[in-house]
């Protein structure tokens, strides 16, 4: 009897040994096969127990403090939000408001001249993900002859082909959280389809910045996204690199204050996405001021 080609992949699935494409095939198949679901549950439980064979090690104590700081802050915000659901608080919206249900949208379109910028990618080996609260200081890039040609350097010429929302919330603790929403500058950038991607930048009164992405696609091997903060006049500052594939959402908090910057942008770089100079492949942008 020939084994079912999809069910043959269940062991690989349980061990995270499938490509995203193969995983999608199995995911699509599972609802039609209760027996495969049952087997996968069992194999995943066994695979999960393999973790126990790794020697437990103490993480750095600062990690605990950092996580608890984030968690307590988000718990307080969540409680605030729940309170507001019961007794709505005042929202200060800096953007024009239309309709009755919430903040309005302002649409700005100005396609960037991506063809103007070319050049080598950075191959910097430094870590790609800054660790919030760990004293991470954004690196200021060196030569930036190319990036200003995109005209991100001036607030008035920012190009964002996406809905932009601006909402300022003042929570109970007096911490101001200003939200900006951005999106893709083109449907396809560097061969990567960005339709449906959006992201939110929270400029927080405690001098941190939280960025939430939805719908980031899976990038081809060897590529990564990189987040930049761009001042009205000056050099783009690299914030961190990250992979895509976040259809379920992806949030990261950085210990950098985005308030002085005019634009948050995401480019497509060589993996791991820690270039010191932006590539020509501007993917997403959000106006901050």
Partner 1 sequence: MSDEDLVARLRERDANAFTALYDRYSRMSFGLAYRMLSDPAAAEDVVQEAFLSVWRQADTFRPERSAARTWILSIVHHRAVDRLRRGTTTQEVSDAGLDYTPDRADESVNVEHEVRALMEANEIHRVLGLLPMEQRRAIEMAYFGGLSHTEIAGKLSVPVGTVKGRLRIGLQKMRTLLDHAEVRDTAHDA
Point out which residues bind partner 1 (CB under 8 A).
3, 8-12, 14-19, 41-61, 63-64, 66-68, 70-72, 74-75, 78-79, 127-129, 131-132, 222, 224, 243, 248, 251, 271-272
Q: Is there a contact between 211 and 227 (Cβ–Cβ < 8 Å)?
A: yes
Question: Judged by CB, which is closer to partner 1: 28, or 67?
Answer: 67
CB of 107 to partner 1, least distance (A): 30
CA distance 55 to 251: 29
CB of 161 to partner 1, least distance (A): 28
Provide the 8-state DSSP code for 134: T
CB of 139 to partner 1, least distance (A): 16
CB of 194 to partner 1, least distance (A): 19
Specify the length of the chain in residues.
Answer: 289
Q: Is there a contact between 236 and 152 (Cβ–Cβ < 8 Å)?
A: yes
Give the residue from 167, 147, 142, 168 showing the smallest Cα distance to 157.
Answer: 147
Question: Judged by CB, which is closer to partner 1: 93, or 271?
Answer: 271
182 forms beta bridges with 199
Question: Judged by CB, which is closer to partner 1: 214, or 289?
Answer: 214
Question: Judged by CB, which is closer to partner 1: 73, or 287?
Answer: 73
Question: Judged by CB, which is closer to partner 1: 113, or 245?
Answer: 245
What are 11-17's contacts with CB under 8 Å, separation 24+? 11/43, 13/40, 13/43, 13/44, 14/40, 14/43, 14/44, 14/46, 14/47, 15/47
Q: Is there a contact between 256 and 123 (Cβ–Cβ < 8 Å)?
A: no
CA distance 199 to 266: 10
Local structure of 202: helix, strand or coil:
strand
Q: Is there a contact between 124 and 139 (Cβ–Cβ < 8 Å)?
A: no
CB of 262 to partner 1, least distance (A): 28
Question: Judged by CB, which is closer to partner 1: 136, or 259?
Answer: 136
CB of 190 to partner 1, least distance (A): 17
* Alpha helical stretches, state H, the chain: 10-14, 20-29, 34-49, 61-86
List phi, psi (to 5°) of 265: -135, 155
Question: Judged by CB, which is closer to partner 1: 128, or 179?
Answer: 128
CB of 124 to partner 1, least distance (A): 12
Question: Judged by CB, which is closer to partner 1: 210, or 235?
Answer: 210
CB of 241 to partner 1, least distance (A): 9
């Amino acid at each position: 009897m020939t084994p079912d080609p999809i069910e043959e992949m269940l062991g690989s699935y349980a061990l995270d040994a499938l490509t995203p494409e193969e995983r999608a095939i199995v995911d699509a198949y599972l609802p039609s096969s209760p027996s495969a679901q049952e087997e996968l549950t069992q194999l995943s439980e066994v695979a999960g127990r393999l973790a126990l064979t790794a020697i437990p090690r103490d993480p750095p104590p600062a990690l605990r403090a950092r996580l608890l700081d984030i968690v307590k802050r988000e718990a307080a915000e969540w409680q605030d939000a729940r309170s507001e659901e019961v007794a709505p608080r005042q929202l200060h919206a800096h953007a024009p408001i239309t309709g009755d249900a919430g903040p309005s949208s302002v649409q700005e379109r100005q396609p960037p001249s991506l063809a103007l910028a070319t050049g080598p990618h950075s191959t910097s080996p430094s870590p790609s993900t800054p660790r919030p609260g760990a004293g991470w200081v954004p690196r200021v890039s060196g030569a930036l002859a190319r990036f200003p040609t995109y005209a991100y350097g001036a607030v008035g010429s920012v190009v964002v082909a996406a809905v932009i929302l601006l909402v300022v919330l003042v929570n109970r603790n007096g911490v101001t959280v200003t939200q900006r929403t951005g999106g893709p500058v083109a449907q396809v950038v560097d061969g990567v389809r960005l339709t449906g991607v959006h992201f939110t930048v929270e400029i927080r009164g405690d001098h941190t910045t939280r960025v939430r992405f939805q719908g980031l696609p899976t990038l081809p091997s060897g590529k990564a996204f990189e987040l930049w903060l761009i001042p009205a006049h000056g050099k783009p500052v690299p914030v961190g690199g990250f992979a895509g594939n976040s259809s379920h959402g992806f949030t990261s908090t950085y210990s950098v204050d985005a308030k002085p910057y005019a634009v948050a942008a995401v480019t497509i770089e060589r993996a791991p996405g820690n270039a010191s100079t932006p590539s020509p492949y501007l993917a997403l942008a959000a106006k901050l001021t």
